[in-house]
Amino acid sequence: MNKTETITTIILFCWVPVMVTLERLFPYTKGIKFFREGWWLDFFWYTIFQSYFLKILIFDYIIAPAKTSLGLANVGVLSNWPVWALVLLFLVTHDFYIYWFHRLQHNTKVFWRTHEAHHSVRTVDWLAGSRSHALEIIINQTIEFAPIFFLLDVKTAAIVVPVKACLDATWGMWIHANVDVHSGKLQYFINGPEMHQWHHSNHPEVFYSNYSTKFAFWDWIFGTGFLPGLNPFKHQFLKPQQYGLPYEYPREYFLQHWFALKRFDVKKAENAPGIKPYINWTTMVLSLVKNSATNPSKITE
Ligand SMILES: [Zn+2]
Ligand SMILES: [Zn+2]
């Protein structure tokens, strides 16, 4: 781990308690528990398991061989730029791409299959953003990090990549955080929970809205912004009333991935031998943790 990776990892670990504390102090939706439904799925399977294997696949088996085969191994045409300018360049260009790809995912049946997992979260909090289908991550992160490796030498890329990855992770946690923030006109420029909580709501009128990730202005420029609290936009409710998907969706990591490729009877699959005990096991453990956290006397009874 180089120095930049160490610093960005520390920032990331410090960012989690900041988000959790803000969620406790200023909740957007009141009464959400830390160990909410799907916590284990998002924390272990998506954040730890999937991230670990996809990082190896994307960097070692896609980007590195592509760079070598293109003969770019020692080029780095932008390596003389200052780091801040490079981060800004890749931040804005990738954010522009992600706006359009995200919009494509909501507007085409095939690409929606790679994105529905992300919308299956029914409790949107700091961890919810991690739930993204592996295919979605492979496409997005390859397109995000390949230009960094192609246009920079190895030394400069070793600084820009962790900085960019840290920004992605912290910003991703922020826009999903269950924090009741009112940033006023800033919501025309910087994306946050105000607009992204709406994006995750199960309301037909916002299904084709708020695609932005970091910069909210893409939505306002391209006519997809939705925020009822921001004049002149008006809406019956100032906050979403429901979240998640309007159809049945698996609760287990591998079933979620298979469901993107082939539709099946969700209830039947979840009751299959091997799957049911696993779902029951994680539900049982989490309910024990929840109960002991809310009522410590219960475990000594
Ligand atoms: Zn979406
Ligand atoms: Zn999201």
| Span between the terminal Cα atoms of the chain, in Å | 47
Q: Name which residue leads in pLDDT, 231 or 243.
A: 243
123, 36: one domain? yes
Nearest ligand, measured from the Cα of 197: 2
For residue 106, the CA-to-ligand 1 centroid distance in Å is: 6
Residue 190 phi, psi dihedral angles, 5° rounding: -110, 130
Which residue is listed with tokens 């294997």?
53
The answer to whether residue 72 is domain-embedded is yes
In a domain? residue 281: yes
| Residue 139, amino acid | I
CA proximity to 275, closest of 284, 286, 267: 267
- Does the predicted TM-score (pTM) go above 0.75? yes
> When comparing pLDDT for 73 and 46, which is higher?
46
Give the number of whichever ligand sits closest to the CA of residue 115: 1
> 184, 200, 221 — which closes off a domain?
221
Three-state DSSP state, 278? helix
Residue-level pLDDT at 290 = 62
pLDDT above 50 for 295:
no
8 A C-beta contact, residue 142 and residue 154: no
Number of structural domains found in the chain = 2
Residue 91 lies in a domain: yes
Do 292 and 179 share a domain, yes or no? no
- pLDDT for the residue 291: 63
Closest by CA to 123, choosing from 38, 56, 183, 205, is 38
Residue 298 in this model has a pLDDT that exceeds 80: no
- Reported as a single tens digit per residue, the pLDDT across 66-91 is 999 988 877 788 989 999 999 999 99
- Ligand 1 centre to CA of 69 (Å) is 34
Domain region containing 294: 271-300
Q: Which ligand is nearest to the CA of 171?
A: 2
Residue type, 136: E
Let me know whether 103 and 165 are in one domain: yes
Same domain, 157 and 284: no
Same domain, 282 and 202: no
Contacts of 240 (CB under 8 A, 6+ apart): 197, 198, 200, 201, 202, 203, 206
Per-residue pLDDT tens digits for 95-144 = 999 999 999 999 999 999 999 999 999 999 999 999 999 999 999 999 99
